[in-house]
Amino acid sequence: MAIDWCPFATKRPIVADNFMKGRNGRPVKAVVLHIAAGNLPGVFPTFNDPTRGASAHFCIGKNGTIEQYVSVNDTAFANGLRWDAQNQQWICPHNNIVQPSWQDLTPPDNPNWYTVSIEHEGMPQDKWTSDMYDANMRLQLWLSDQFQLTYVAHRTLVGHFEIDPVDKPSCPGPNVEWDRIVADAAAIQAARKLTWMPINTDSALYNFAEAQNLGYPQTDEYEFTSGGATYVGQVYNLGIVFVKKGDWGNVLWMKKPM
Ligand SMILES: [Zn+2]
């Protein structure tokens, strides 16, 4: 079971009847990106307005703020469709017949049951700020952990226009970098499986190297002896840093021999 509320989002639960408890038993299979066509402060009041009948799970501000309005285990009303069984077609909330390009719709299930929706502050033509991009990535990674999603553009990461091409052709807009998002997510997820260089930020060597602008550690700390004394050393991008054990205030360094 996924965690209901993202721990790094600002929790703003809506109380209006604009979402549904649970997901009708459907597992989440995609994240849907939206544009709010407005500013972040206006999003919560809209979703909390009982006359609107709309909601999303999240909205991300241009400054990287993430707000959450609905538990990810509940159904938000962001990208719903109704299946017309008699005529075997999808009907959008404005009662238009739509032919969605997203190929993972499963009639007659409402797509809201198996998607997580993320709104973004701004207008469709806006390019995301880097803060917005980073926050969106952090949230998507958290969602991929919650629902075991591997992001594939237009399959597990979808735009609203791919569900409702009639009323929402510009949601989330032409400047969303789909390929960059899925490549970045894949790079991070692959990197997480590696063993990273241990960095002890309390270490005398690390603090010395940082103060001297010697870059990042390239090795773990290692011990060596010289003149009967034991030293601790570590290789950084721009030098080798070392100190006699116990004499922690006297860190020395030398340039790496070329
Ligand atoms: Zn939308």
Residue 150 maps to a domain: yes
Query: Domain range for residue 43?
Result: 10-192
Percent share of the chain, pLDDT over 70: 100
- At 248, the pLDDT band (50, 70, 90 cuts) reads very high
Ligand 1 midpoint to CA 137 (Å): 18
Point out which residues pair with 215 in neighbouring strands. Answer: none
Percent share of the chain, pLDDT over 90: 94
Residue 209 maps to a domain: yes
What are the pLDDT digits (tens) for 117-163? 999 999 999 999 999 999 999 999 999 999 999 999 999 999 999 99
Point out which residues pair with 82 in neighbouring strands. Answer: 91
Domain count along the chain? 2
Residue 89 maps to a domain: yes
Ligand 1 midpoint to CA 160 (Å): 5
Do 50 and 17 meet the contact criterion of CB atoms below 8 Å apart?
Answer: yes
Q: What pLDDT does residue 89 have?
A: 97
Residue 198 maps to a domain: no
Helix (H, G, I), strand (E, B) or coil at 119: strand
Point out which residues pair with 63 in neighbouring strands. Answer: none
Q: What's the chain's average pLDDT?
A: 96
Range 24-48 average pLDDT: 98
Ligand 1 midpoint to CA 34 (Å): 4
Whether 233 and 179 share a structural domain: no
Range 16-31 average pLDDT: 97
Whether 221 and 138 share a structural domain: no
Q: What pLDDT does residue 81 have?
A: 98
For residue 68, give every residue at least 6 positions away whose Cβ sits within 8 Å of its Cβ, in sequence order, or none: 5, 6, 9, 10, 11, 12, 57, 58
Q: What pLDDT does residue 257 have?
A: 82
Ligand 1 midpoint to CA 19 (Å): 15
What are the pLDDT digits (tens) for 189-222? 999 999 887 778 889 999 999 999 999 999 999 9
Ligand 1 midpoint to CA 2 (Å): 23
Ligand 1 midpoint to CA 244 (Å): 61
pTM of the complete model: 0.85
Whether 16 and 141 share a structural domain: yes
Residue 173 CA to residue 34 CA, distance in Å, equals 8
Residue 4 maps to a domain: no
Q: Could you give the C-alpha distances from 102 to 44, 97, 154, 164, 253, in angstroms and in order? A: 28, 15, 7, 9, 58
Ligand 1 midpoint to CA 193 (Å): 34
Residue 5 maps to a domain: no
Q: Quick one: which of 143, 116, 126, 152 has its CA closest to 36?
A: 126
Ligand 1 midpoint to CA 194 (Å): 36
What are the pLDDT digits (tens) for 81-127? 999 999 999 999 999 999 999 999 999 999 999 999 999 999 999 99
